[in-house]
């Protein structure tokens, strides 16, 4: 943070030369702290406010410049710096708050639990200080700070505390009211500064990137712009990269095997936007995905200077919210689905032309059927196959007609070979045994072949597999 | 938990009516003692499948101490016995255990139970009195 303070000082000093002397003066003031607290931001307040005022009043802005290359523009730079400052201011507010609480504890310990908001707390402390017994006098003033029921709570708690103190005969220990009130003023001043800065940023960004601002708020918008560099670059960033912008622990968790390893992925700027922050863990990833898609779209609209009043951004925001609502609704509790009644239905498939054809194709040929039959009182003709097995021919000799249902086509090679054999003459005796056998088995084929229609003959191979 | 949610048949008359009045569904009655561990487990499984098989089977419970009417007739001596009926007819199932009248051993698988019920239902609508269980339990260790 120290580095940052110096950075900012240098930065601001260089941006406006006239403030240089002031910053030196301020540097001297920095070290004068109260109750061990020395602020790094407080001395910068006047400077910051001055800048804010300067830029707020500056009406003529070249936004084109911002779009093209934001790094050159001083105001843009200042806006980006405010992000860092506001982070530091928050840290300091927390620090101040804890110091004030530890100081005020001795007077009114219960107030801490009643009032969570540091600003309200500090205002009450400033108001009542040690006068717990006269607390009723402050009722009207308290009502301006707190809602009525809270006022009642504080009053009752204060009176109770007072009684307790009386019982114990405990006088309020010496508290340096002056120092406390200084701290209180500091805190209020810082809070005021935050509000002013936020206001400034939102006003500026509303002009600059109205749709993105409408969607995720000015702070996150400026953070994202800071991370990517400019609106143009934001519009060009793939939406899947946006959740990882502004991640802090990435480098530390990878380099050292820390125990505090971050289990969640992509806890960047987007993760800390109010829209995502309070979502349950299981939808965060999806919410960021939805949101970052819309951010890029909105950035493109802003870049094209469309919808300058932010209506589309607002529409996107509503869309995203409705989507998130849908994500958050619990799934409908559907009971077990009853099984269907286990009735075995008959297959609806009956015969038909195509089915019959298929059956015929797979079925036995007439020839094969005939081969399986035997004539009474006659010796069966047999042949020997290449394995030396005797194959009976049955009554296949007289069968006519060829099974055309098989759709078998003779290959060109086979047709050629058969043709050659034919050309060699009818010297069938010279042919090898298997061929002869096949000729015998389909006697019809020989007849056909003799007619010169060899290509219609069933291939030899098919016949053999049929056995 | 199953013994609470499944319908309990409190008297013999209820048992009779349950068997008689169901027209197109299998009636499955668990005879046993809800306090028994084995019986509790069976109840649990029956309860878990009751919703799934509701289209073709109705599951009831019956305490054999409260309703002793059937103990002798059906030989209900085990801590947990599951019996099947269809249109007032007792359905038998060959589990391979030797006793086809009832399911009196623990089954620790919901799908197996569903398969058995489906098989019995298929047999029942075809008018069979005895069906063969899809799983053979002859080698399953008896407790």
The per-residue pLDDT of chain A, averaged, comes to 73
For the CA atoms of A454, A457, A458, A459, the dihedral, rounded to the nearest 10 degrees, stands at -10
Nearest to A341 among B51, B56, B114 (CB): B56
Does B51 lie at the interface with A, CB-CB under 8 angstroms? yes
Handedness of CA B28, B32, B34, B40 (dihedral sign): negative
Nearest to A342 among B51, B54, B122 (CB): B122
In this prediction, residue A7 carries a pLDDT of 53
The per-residue pLDDT of chain B, averaged, comes to 92
Residues in chain B closer than 8 A to A342 (CB atoms): 56, 118, 121-122
Mean pLDDT confidence for B53-71: 94
Mean pLDDT confidence for B9-32: 94
Does A340 lie at the interface with B, CB-CB under 8 angstroms? yes
Does A345 lie at the interface with B, CB-CB under 8 angstroms? no
Among B118, B127, B128, which would you mutate to test the A interface (most chain A Cβ atoms within 10 Å of its Cβ)? Answer: B118
Among B122, B123, B127, which would you mutate to test the A interface (most chain A Cβ atoms within 10 Å of its Cβ)? Answer: B122
CA distance A279 to A425: 94
Residues in chain B closer than 8 A to A346 (CB atoms): none
In this prediction, residue A76 carries a pLDDT of 66
What pLDDT, in 10s, does the model give residues A341-361?
Answer: 988 887 777 778 888 888 888
Question: Pick the residue with more confidence: A145 or B36?
Answer: B36
Name the residue with tokens 């001596």.
B77
Q: Based on the number of CB atoms within 10 Å of its own CB, is A411 exposed (0-12), middle (13-18) or buried (19 or more)?
A: exposed
- The SS3 assignment for B50 reads helix
The reply to whether residue A341 touches residue B55, judged by beta carbons under 8 angstroms, is: yes
The reply to whether residue A336 touches residue B52, judged by beta carbons under 8 angstroms, is: yes
Nearest to B125 among A335, A337, A343 (CB): A343
The reply to whether residue A335 touches residue B51, judged by beta carbons under 8 angstroms, is: yes
In this prediction, residue A447 carries a pLDDT of 44
Task: State the pLDDT confidence band at A426, using cuts at 50, 70 and 90.
Answer: low
The reply to whether residue A339 touches residue B122, judged by beta carbons under 8 angstroms, is: no
Q: Based on the number of CB atoms within 10 Å of its own CB, is A120 exposed (0-12), middle (13-18) or buried (19 or more)?
A: middle
Q: What are the sequence ranges of the domains in chain B? A: 2-142
CA distance B111 to A42: 73
Among B24, B48, B55, which would you mutate to test the A interface (most chain A Cβ atoms within 10 Å of its Cβ)? Answer: B55
Q: Which residue of A has its CA nearest to B125?
A: A343
Q: How many CB pairs under 8 A join A and B?
A: 26
Q: Which has the minimum average pLDDT: A42-46, A72-76, B18-22?
A: A72-76
Name the residue with tokens 């290359």.
A69
How is residue B68 annotated by DSSP?
G
Among A335, A337, A341, A343, which would you mutate to test the B interface (most chain B Cβ atoms within 10 Å of its Cβ)? Answer: A341
The reply to whether residue B53 touches residue A338, judged by beta carbons under 8 angstroms, is: yes
Cβ-contact A215, A298 below 8 angstroms: yes
Name the residue with tokens 């597999």.
A465
The reply to whether residue A338 touches residue B52, judged by beta carbons under 8 angstroms, is: yes
In this prediction, residue A462 carries a pLDDT of 44
In this prediction, residue A80 carries a pLDDT of 66
Mean pLDDT confidence for A257-280: 71
Task: State the pLDDT confidence band at A263, using cuts at 50, 70 and 90.
Answer: low
Question: Pick the residue with more confidence: A293 or A37?
Answer: A293
Q: What does the radius of gyration of chain B's CA atoms come to, in whole angstroms?
A: 14
Cβ-contact A396, A443 below 8 angstroms: yes
Nearest to B51 among A338, A341, A343 (CB): A338
The reply to whether residue B55 touches residue A338, judged by beta carbons under 8 angstroms, is: yes
A455 pLDDT more than 70: no
Mean pLDDT confidence for A319-338: 88
Does B121 lie at the interface with A, CB-CB under 8 angstroms? yes
Cβ-contact A121, A112 below 8 angstroms: yes
pTM over 0.80: no
In this prediction, residue B85 carries a pLDDT of 95
Does A36 lie at the interface with B, CB-CB under 8 angstroms? no
Nearest to A336 among B51, B121, B125 (CB): B51
Q: Which residue of B has its CA nearest to A343?
A: B122
Tell me the shortest Cα–Cα distance from B53 to chain A, in angstroms: 6
In this prediction, residue A90 carries a pLDDT of 78
Tell me the shortest Cα–Cα distance from A344 to chain B, in angstroms: 8
B17 pLDDT more than 90: yes
Cβ-contact A457, A409 below 8 angstroms: no
What residues 105-164 of chain A have any CB closer than 8 A to a CB of chain B?
none
The reply to whether residue B52 touches residue A343, judged by beta carbons under 8 angstroms, is: no
What pLDDT, in 10s, does the model give residues A152-175?
Answer: 888 888 888 888 877 776 566 666
Mean pLDDT confidence for A190-211: 79
The reply to whether residue B118 touches residue A342, judged by beta carbons under 8 angstroms, is: yes
Task: State the pLDDT confidence band at A467, using cuts at 50, 70 and 90.
Answer: very low
In this prediction, residue A223 carries a pLDDT of 79
In this prediction, residue A450 carries a pLDDT of 45
A130 pLDDT more than 80: no
Q: Based on the number of CB atoms within 10 Å of its own CB, is A315 exposed (0-12), middle (13-18) or buried (19 or more)?
A: middle
The reply to whether residue A341 touches residue B114, judged by beta carbons under 8 angstroms, is: no
What pLDDT, in 10s, does the model give residues A78-125?
Answer: 776 776 777 778 788 888 888 888 888 877 888 888 887 788 888 888
- Domain B2-142 listed as CATH 3.40.30.10: yes
Tell me the shortest Cα–Cα distance from A332 to chain B, in angstroms: 17
Q: Write the ipTM.
A: 0.84
In this prediction, residue A227 carries a pLDDT of 76
Q: Which residue of A has its CA nearest to B114?
A: A339
In this prediction, residue A128 carries a pLDDT of 78
Does B72 lie at the interface with A, CB-CB under 8 angstroms? no
B62 pLDDT more than 50: yes
The reply to whether residue A340 touches residue B125, judged by beta carbons under 8 angstroms, is: no
Task: State the pLDDT confidence band at B33, using cuts at 50, 70 and 90.
Answer: very high
Tell me the shortest Cα–Cα distance from B120 to chain A, in angstroms: 10
Among A333, A340, A342, A346, which would you mutate to test the B interface (most chain B Cβ atoms within 10 Å of its Cβ)? Answer: A342
């Amino acid at each position: 943070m120290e580095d940052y303070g110096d950075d900012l000082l240098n930065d601001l000093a260089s941006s406006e030369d006239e403030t240089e002397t002031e910053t030196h003066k301020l540097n001297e003031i920095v070290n004068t702290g109260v109750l061990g607290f020395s602020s790094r931001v407080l001395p910068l307040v006047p400077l910051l406010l001055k800048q804010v005022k300067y830029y707020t009043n500056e009406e003529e802005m070249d936004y084109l410049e911002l779009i093209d290359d934001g790094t050159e523009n001083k105001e843009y730079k200042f806006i980006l710096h405010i992000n860092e400052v506001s982070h530091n201011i928050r840290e300091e507010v927390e620090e101040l708050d804890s110091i004030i609480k530890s100081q005020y504890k001795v007077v009114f310990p219960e107030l801490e639990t009643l009032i969570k908001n540091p600003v309200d707390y500090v205002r009450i402390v400033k108001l009542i200080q040690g006068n717990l017994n006269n607390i009723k006098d402050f009722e009207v003033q308290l009502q301006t700070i707190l809602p009525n029921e809270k006022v009642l709570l504080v009053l009752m708690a204060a009176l109770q505390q007072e009684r307790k103190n009386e019982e114990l005969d405990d006088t309020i220990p010496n508290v340096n009211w002056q120092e406390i009130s200084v701290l209180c003023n500091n805190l209020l001043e810082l809070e005021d500064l935050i509000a002013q800065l936020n206001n400034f940023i939102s006003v500026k960004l509303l002009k600059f990137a109205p749709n993105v601002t409408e969607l995720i708020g000015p702070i996150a918008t400026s953070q994202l712009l800071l991370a990517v560099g400019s609106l143009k670059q934001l519009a060009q960033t793939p939406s899947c990269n946006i959740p990882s912008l502004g991640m802090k622990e990435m480098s530390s968790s990878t380099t050292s095997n820390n125990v505090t390893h971050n289990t969640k992925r992509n806890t960047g700027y987007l993760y800390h936007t109010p829209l995502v922050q309070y979502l349950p863990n299981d939808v965060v990833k999806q919410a960021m995905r939805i949101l970052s898609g819309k951010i890029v779209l909105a950035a493109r609209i802003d870049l094209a200077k469309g919808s300058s009043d932010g209506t589309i951004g607002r529409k996107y925001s509503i869309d995203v919210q409705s989507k998130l609502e849908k994500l958050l609704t619990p799934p409908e509790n559907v009971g077990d689905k009853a099984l269907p009644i286990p009735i075995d239905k008959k297959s609806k498939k009956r015969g038909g032309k195509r089915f019959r054809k298929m059956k015929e194709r797979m079925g036995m040929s007439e020839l094969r059927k005939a081969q399986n039959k035997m004539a009474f009182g006659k010796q069966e003709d047999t042949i020997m196959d290449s394995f030396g097995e005797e194959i009976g021919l049955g009554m296949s000799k007289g069968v006519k007609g060829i099974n055309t249902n098989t759709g078998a086509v003779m290959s060109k090679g086979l047709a050629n070979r058969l043709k050659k054999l034919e050309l060699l003459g009818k010297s069938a005796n010279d042919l090898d045994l298997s061929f002869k056998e096949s000729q015998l088995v389909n006697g019809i084929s020989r007849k056909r072949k003799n007619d010169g229609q060899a290509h219609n003959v069933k291939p030899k191979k098919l016949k053999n597999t049929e056995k | 938990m199953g013994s609470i949610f499944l319908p309990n048949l409190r008297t013999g008359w209820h048992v009779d009516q349950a068997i008689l009045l169901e027209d197109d569904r299998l009636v499955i009655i668990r005879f046993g003692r809800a306090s028994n561990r084995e019986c509790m487990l069976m109840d649990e499984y029956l309860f878990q499948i009751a919703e799934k098989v509701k289209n073709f089977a109705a599951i009831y419970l019956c305490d054999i101490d409260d309703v002793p009417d059937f103990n002798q007739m059906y030989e209900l001596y085990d801590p947990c016995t599951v019996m099947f009926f269809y249109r007032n007819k007792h359905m038998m199932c060959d589990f391979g255990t030797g006793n086809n009248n009832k399911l009196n051993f623990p089954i620790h698988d919901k799908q197996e139970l569903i398969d058995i019920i489906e098989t019995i239902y298929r047999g029942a609508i075809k008018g069979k009195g005895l069906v063969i269980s899809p799983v053979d339990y002859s080698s399953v260790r008896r407790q």
